[in-house]
Structure 1
Amino acid sequence: MPLFEIETSAHIIVTWAEDEAAAEVVVQDAFPGDEIMRLTKRPRDTWVISKGALGLTNTSLDPCAIARECLSRSAGDKVNAIRLYRMETGSDLDQARRVIESNMVMGW
């Protein structure tokens, strides 16, 4: 069964399907509000995502580790942790808020 890469208005989906029509049905079932922008049959039956392309090869800049350290230093004060995270990473306010809040949910 071929592997398809489907880009929608909000997602990138990788799925096996018999043909393009079946791949479109997968998207419509999972994300009915998404518009298919690109549908590509992959040349092989595997999918690889390069960590280097995503910027994940530098382990010293682990956002979760930095966020947990900022939460620890701020004694759990979210606003202060966001400020510390922005100072440590140079992130904008929205990015820092998301990272800190995500780590608060995980129980830093």
Structure 2
Amino acid sequence: MPLFEVETDNHIIITWAEDADSATGVVSDAYPSENVIRMTKRPRDTWVISKGALGITEQLDICHTARDCLNKAAGDKVHAIRLYMHETGVDLEQARKVIESNMVLGW
């Protein structure tokens, strides 16, 4: 089954679907008020995010630090971002990317 990357007004959704219409249906079920802006059928059945594309290039264990901050913040994203900025010295945007990426991974 193909893997589709579907961008809406507020989300990027990665989903397996038989075809583009089925992928659109998945998005409509999950986010009925959002419009599909872009849809890409991925060439393989996996999806990879480059840490460099997210601005994560340091050698410290970013995931461990982010998960530790999420744990200390009891899952509160904003508080975890603040903790991560304090512990690593990164800016708001980079901290947000790292924390959100780790939230998706199921910290």
**Structure 1: 5+ residue runs without aligned partners?**
69-77, 100-108
SS at match of 2:21: helix
Question: Residue 7 of structure 1 aligns to which amino acid in structure 2?
Answer: E
* Cα distance, 1:2–1:49 mapped onto 2, change above 3 Å: same
Tell me the residue number matched to 1:38: 38
CA distance in 2, matches of 1:45, 1:90: 33
TM-score (ref. length: structure 2): 0.58
- Please, what is the CA RMSD of the aligned residues? 3.4
SS at match of 2:23: helix
- Count matched residues: 83
SS at match of 1:21: helix
Matched, 1:15 2:15: yes
The share of aligned pairs that are identical, in percent, is 49
**Structure 2: 5+ residue runs without aligned partners?**
70-78, 100-107
CA distance in 2, matches of 1:8, 1:25: 13
Matched, 1:54 2:50: no
* Larger Rg, first or second structure (1 or 2): 1
Tell me the residue number matched to 1:27: 27
Q: CA deviation at 1:90?
A: 6.8
User: Deviations along 1:74-94, whole A, 9 cap, x unmatched?
Assistant: xxxx9xx88x94xx83746xx
